[in-house]
Amino acid sequence: MIVIQQLIAREILDSRGIPTVEVELTLSNGLITVASVPSGASTGEHEACELRDGNWQRYLGKGVLKAVVNVNDVIAPTLLNQSPLDQASIDQQLIVLDGTLNKSHLGANAILAVSLAVAKAAAICRQLPLFASLNVGTAQAMSIPAPMMNIINGGAHANNGLNFQEFMIMPLGFDDFPRALQAGVEIFQALKKILNTRGFSTSVGDEGGFAPALASHRAALDLILEAINSAGYSAGTQIFLSLDLASSEFYQEGLYHLSCENLHLDAAALVDYLSALVEDYPILSIEDAMAENDWAGWQLLTLRLGHKVQLVGDDLFVTNTRLLQRGIDQHIANAILIKPNQIGTLTETMAAIQCAKRAGYQTIVSHRSGETEDTTIADLAVSLAADQIKTGSLCRTDRMAKYNQLLRISADKAYTLAYAGPRILQCLANMKVT
Ligand code: PGA
Ligand code: ZN
């Protein structure tokens, strides 16, 4: 039996130059796997704990040496000589070793890096690609997720004044992933040209999207429609729009402050504002339209728009099955964003996807704004046939690495994997029509 022979953690840097955890796992057959974890900027209040050193002498307190020590001194001795094949058992041991509800003892960054390295080791033992190994035992037909590409950045990911954090395009009306990706890239390039011509900045935000200083959210949507058109695609049949408001960032004392438009809206007025956008633009998905603790606002939103568009809970659900179940029970939202580091183990992440699927919620596997070269989320999205993947814009290696991994998986002749775009299009476009 192949077993875990060595686990070593180290501090590396993410796409923002901020420390994060990488774990290197050596198997008894000498093969090595490496996994690292991302980090958010607009983090949900109820996310698992990202353990940081807090020592201001190093990396402004953001070092992760405590998490590194926790892997090397606490986790490694427990997992040595175990087979990596039983992910659920390994993750359960990590949860017990930590002993807290939010993984604050060992750190979700320490725990997740180990959990992912173990999954990669299991794939080696099974002699399968990671996506196929993750699929073992799930009885789930795999598919390639439809991307949500974040081509204009605002909110906490840029300094351009836009309050909405992400303006995304969804290339759904294509038969395969490579063609859909190509459309996204061509639209991104067209947008760059338009911005240049109008004298706007073409520098990019944290997720690789442009961050022009625009006067309103509608101005951003109009520019994107123009870019779609100019690249030769059709908005509303091939390409659709998607927003992430990350509204907890501009919610204060019961009001949503859209400072760039000088609007200060209560939940009902924000729902009106969004309904008008949905009427006027081919928007199929809105994420975190309401703040993470504004469940009453979410209820209002879902009643009004839940039959028309995908309403995604990110900070609301934080990949936590307990919070998701509350949403399902109260008929709140109809989709969940899945971020492994919000919950801290692969097993719990996969449980959240499966729980959402059972309830008929759409699933979107997601990166974080601070990323590494680790591409596990691409494999994860394929393995459980997540409907969509959110992994940023069409530039910067931290984002492109995930798209490139999906290209590799699409080209794997050993598997015939359908592109989820047409399936999502049918599901979401039907919603919008009714
Ligand atoms: P974050 O943003 O990684 O900064 O939290 C991504 C998102 O809100 O979806
Ligand atoms: Zn979000």
40 lines ligand 1 (CB under 6 A): yes
- The ligand placed nearest to the CA atom of residue 47 is 1
Is 19 strand, coil or helix? strand
Cβ–Cβ < 8 Å for 262, 212? no
Of the candidates 330, 377, 315, 374, the residue with the CA atom closest to the CA atom of residue 349 = 377
Active-site residue set: 207, 339
At 398, give phi and psi (nearest 5°): -60, -30
Which carries the bigger pLDDT value, residue 172 or residue 426?
172
How far away, in angstroms, is 40 Cα from ligand 1 center? Answer: 5
In ligand 1, the atom with minimum distance to the C-alpha of 206 is: 4
pLDDT at position 78 over 90? yes
- The pLDDT-based confidence of 249 (bands split at 50, 70, 90) is very high
Residue among 243, 317, 368, 388 to mutate when testing ligand 1 (max atoms within 8 A of CB): 368
In ligand 1, the atom with minimum distance to the C-alpha of 337 is: 9
Cβ–Cβ < 8 Å for 113, 36? yes
How far away, in angstroms, is 76 Cα from ligand 1 center? Answer: 30
- The ligand placed nearest to the CA atom of residue 314 is 2
pLDDT at position 192 over 80? yes
How far away, in angstroms, is 390 Cα from ligand 1 center? Answer: 10
Of the candidates 100, 211, 191, 144, the residue with the CA atom closest to the CA atom of residue 389 = 144
pLDDT at position 14 over 70? yes
What pLDDT score does 333 carry?
98
- The predicted-structure confidence for 42-71, as pLDDT tens digits, reads as follows 899 999 999 999 999 999 999 999 999 999
How far away, in angstroms, is 74 Cα from ligand 2 center? Answer: 33
At 234, give phi and psi (nearest 5°): -115, 120
What pLDDT score does 42 carry?
87
Q: What is the b/e burial string over 316-353, where b = at least 16 CB atoms within 10 angstroms of the residue's CB?
A: bbbbbbebbeebbeeebbbbbbbbbbbbbbbbbbbbbb
pLDDT at position 432 over 70? no
How far away, in angstroms, is 257 Cα from ligand 1 center? Answer: 19
41 lines ligand 1 (CB under 6 A): yes
- The pLDDT-based confidence of 357 (bands split at 50, 70, 90) is very high
155 lines ligand 1 (CB under 6 A): no
369 lines ligand 1 (CB under 6 A): yes
Q: Please give the Cα distance from 166 to 152 (Å, whole number).
A: 6
pLDDT at position 309 over 80? yes
- The pLDDT-based confidence of 427 (bands split at 50, 70, 90) is confident
Q: Look up residue 17 and give its two tokens.
A: 């130059």
42 lines ligand 1 (CB under 6 A): yes
What pLDDT score does 429 carry?
67
- The predicted-structure confidence for 194-206, as pLDDT tens digits, reads as follows 999 999 999 999 9
367 lines ligand 1 (CB under 6 A): no
Cβ–Cβ < 8 Å for 32, 48? no
43 lines ligand 1 (CB under 6 A): yes
What pLDDT score does 371 carry?
98
What pLDDT score does 434 carry?
44
Q: What mean pLDDT comes out for the span 228-232?
A: 98
How far away, in angstroms, is 61 Cα from ligand 2 center? Answer: 25
- How far does the chain reach from its first CA to its final CA, in angstroms? 56
Q: What mean pLDDT comes out for the span 165-192?
A: 98
Q: What mean pLDDT comes out for the span 378-398?
A: 98
- The predicted-structure confidence for 115-142, as pLDDT tens digits, reads as follows 999 999 999 999 999 999 999 999 999 9
Which carries the bigger pLDDT value, residue 425 or residue 389?
389
Residue among 14, 45, 165, 389 to mutate when testing ligand 1 (max atoms within 8 A of CB): 165
